[in-house]
Amino acid sequence: MGIVRRLDERGVAFGSGALTGAIGDSITVIPLVVALALLTDVSLPHALVGFGVFQIVWGVRYGLPVSVEPMKALAALAIAGALTYAELVLAGLVLGVLLLAIGLTGTLARVERWIGEPVIRGVQFAVGLVLLETGGELALGDPILAAAGVAIAATAALAGHGKASALAVAVVGILIALVTAGIPAPQWPGEPPVLSLQALSGAVTRSTADGIAAQLAMTIGNAALATSLLFADLFDAEVTPDELSASMGTTNLIAVPLGGIPMCHGCDGVAGKHAFGARTGGANVVLGVGYLVAVPFATPALLDAFPVAMLGALLAIVAVSLARNAVDSENVALSVAIGLVALATNLGVAFLLGIVAHLAWERVGGGGDEGADHL
């Protein structure tokens, strides 16, 4: 791997790589945030403020193009209507506490051993199926417009930008909204959505617990362990999984009460930034400023004009990207089974059954502990 460079040897540099690299992390962020704003009570301006601020904070802190993206399991459940806004907020706060505690106490490796790589892949597959089902329902509202979204994605893929296909659909959808509603007059986002203690106490439900369990699996595997490995592989930089866990916990405990959505780091966002040319935290600063500049224009009128059927195509693209992770599992059958059980029941049940099945599989000599390296 060569000489490992510590954080204090990294920096923030601006150039063409910072500008193009910023696109890499918006590939997943924009589609999911737009979907949450359209289909739930999430405030788009406040969500963008959260992403903007923490893109800059962690880009400067790590000196690396670290990803700041939605917690996909929670986002998918909220988009599908399986989580209310209050349940989404409570799940984000609980995960903030858990991730901060795990990071500060250095217990992440012990937690990860209980989950296993096939279970994480299975949760990713399940989240993809949930989004695919929701996307299909939305697309049926206007099949012609949905087909146009698929055509846009196919064009992007044929042009060699397959990873940015969902972003391309989102951008076209925004352009259609601008043509329909006109360029909105800038306005401040105002006070963030506030939930009373009564609303939060009412969000203590099985659905919230299921979402927390499923998201914790994805966050530990995809956002902490895999991201740490990716920083070593791509940048020769040493960032421990526990550091990433602590920074994700901090992010959620600050952003969620102020109207942001649950956020995490993710290896796919880091890989996307690197593929688009990012080499330092400068890409984070560029993207963070871009999000903050967009805040005054993220008005309800613009959201209302966004073509919902095209949103269905957009979600389907994100879904396929997530679901195909099951192919890389060290136990494809188990990962696929977890996804199917989740679709038939719920993510929490599938997650727990998956852990039991994985531990049993390892006990009879079918598995190893090297799988996390391939997340």
Q: Look at residues 178, 191, 192, 195 and name the one whose alpha carbon lies nearest to residue 299.
A: 178
pTM, entire model: 0.85
Residues 335-339, mean pLDDT to the nearest whole number: 90
Q: What is the pLDDT of residue 292?
A: 96
Cβ–Cβ under 8 Å, residues 237 and 10: yes
How far is 189 from 178, CA to CA, in rounded Å? Answer: 19
Query: Which residues does residue 5 pair with via DSSP β-bridges, in sequence order?
Result: 237
Residues 213-230, mean pLDDT to the nearest whole number: 87
Tokens of 139: 């697309």
How far is 256 from 158, CA to CA, in rounded Å? Answer: 38
Taking only Cα atoms into account, the Rg of the chain, rounded to an integer number of angstroms, comes to 19
Residue type, 144: I
Q: What is the pLDDT of residue 3?
A: 36
Q: Which of 1-5, 265-269, 282-286 has the highest mean pLDDT?
A: 282-286
Tokens of 100: 């901060």
State the residue for tokens 């903030």: 96
Higher pLDDT, 216 or 267: 216
Cβ–Cβ under 8 Å, residues 222 and 270: no
Asked if pLDDT for residue 375 goes beyond 90, the answer is: no
What are residue 251's phi and psi, to 5 degrees?
Answer: -55, -50
Residues 230-249, mean pLDDT to the nearest whole number: 92
How far is 273 from 254, CA to CA, in rounded Å? Answer: 25
Tokens of 369: 């502990």
Residues 106-119, mean pLDDT to the nearest whole number: 78
Higher pLDDT, 108 or 136: 136
Residues 148-188 have pLDDT tens digits of: 999 998 998 888 877 778 888 888 999 999 999 888 888 88
Q: Which of 18-22, 303-307, 343-347 has the highest mean pLDDT?
A: 303-307
Cβ–Cβ under 8 Å, residues 121 and 270: no
Q: What is the pLDDT of residue 66?
A: 94
Residues 6+ apart with CB under 8 A from 90: 200, 203, 204, 208
Q: What is the pLDDT of residue 295?
A: 95
How far is 197 from 352, CA to CA, in rounded Å? Answer: 29
How far is 12 from 57, CA to CA, in rounded Å? Answer: 11
Instruction: Report DSSP state, residue 185.
Output: P
How many helices and strands (H and E) does the chain possess? Answer: 18, 2
Q: If you write DSSP's letter for every residue of 300-314 in order, what string do you get?
A: HHHHHTS-HHHHHHH
Cβ–Cβ under 8 Å, residues 66 and 59: yes
Average pLDDT taken over every residue of the chain: 87
Residues 216-228, mean pLDDT to the nearest whole number: 86
Cβ–Cβ under 8 Å, residues 29 and 243: no
Q: How confident is the model at residue 8 (pLDDT cuts 50, 70, 90)?
A: very low
How far is 366 from 375, CA to CA, in rounded Å? Answer: 19
Cβ–Cβ under 8 Å, residues 143 and 312: no
Residues 115-134 have pLDDT tens digits of: 788 888 888 888 888 889 89
Asked if pLDDT for residue 366 goes beyond 60, the answer is: no
Residue type, 61: R
